[in-house]
Amino acid sequence: MPAAERVLLRSVTMWLLLQSLLLLASCICFAAAFPKGCYPSEEEGLKTFRCSNARLTEVPRDIPNDTNKLYLDSNRIPFLPRDAFRDLPLLLELDLSHNAIASVESGAFRGLAEHLHSLDLSSNRLVSVSKDAFSNLKAKVNLSNNPWLCDCRLQELIRTVDLVAGSSGDIVCHSSAQEEHVGKAFLQVIADTDFCNVYKKTTDIAMLVTMFGWFAMVISYLVYYVRQNQEDARRHLEYLKSLPSKQRRSEESSTISTVV
């Protein structure tokens, strides 16, 4: 083989080897930037980031900010802090199902109102969540299969969010102030019971009882005060009667002057 061909072949081989090493290094760095079990992909033209079954205990950081679909399902995430998805302005779908989420802070979904159209929080440990946590959110929300406490707070939440079609039947009362509601679908319960109206009535009654208690205390004190003064006056008069007449008249004059 001519020397020129050998040099050319060696150059091509070295170039290919260098390209392979660079590609391998970029893949290693790219993989190291994400938690174990997480990877980006593209599905139906949408940029997707999957962390399903990755044993996560918190929402991962460094999620690409151009992500359209985010899957964090089947992990161990216990709560969603404020601004958990603040850097994902293009997010369309968010799957948080089958976690251990028991708390959602107000502002957890801040920044997602513009584009998000699907939010899955099914099969978690949600008992009670403020409606403020979903403020301005236009997404279809799945809240099914959580151990809900059926009360005014849940009623306000259900009125605030737009539920995924067919999911409302699986929003079931795990606990309630009224035992007969346990095990029933929440929408079935509120068809006959207005939790917020019951709460308002209970609050009004509590306020009336408190006011009556204070009023009774004031009246009792006034009665005690009057009786105590009457008793003191009676004892003083009896004392005056027991004194000699001149001293008694002097004391009575003094008492009258003092009273006047």
Q: Edge-to-edge, what's the strand order for the sheet holding 69-71?
A: 39-43, 46-50, 69-71, 93-95, 118-120, 140-142, 162-163
How many domains does the chain divide into?
2
Question: What is the C-alpha separation between 154 and 126, in angstroms, rounded?
Answer: 11
Q: Are residues 175 and 156 in the same domain?
A: yes
Strand partners, 43: 46
Instruction: For residue 218, give its domain range.
Output: 194-233
DSSP E strands in 101-201: the ranges are: 103-104, 118-120, 140-142, 148-150, 162-163, 173-176
CATH at 142: 3.80.10.10
Strand partners, 175: 149
pTM for the full predicted model: 0.66
Q: Is the pLDDT of residue 207 over 80?
A: no
Q: Are residues 182 and 210 in the same domain?
A: no
* C-beta separation of 238 from 248 below 8 A: no
* Per-residue pLDDT tens digits for 123-177: 999 999 999 999 889 999 999 999 999 999 999 999 999 999 999 999 999 999 8
Q: Are residues 68 and 186 in the same domain?
A: yes
- 2: tokens are 């001519």
What letter does residue 164 receive in the DSSP assignment? P
23 — pLDDT class (breaks 50, 70, 90): very low
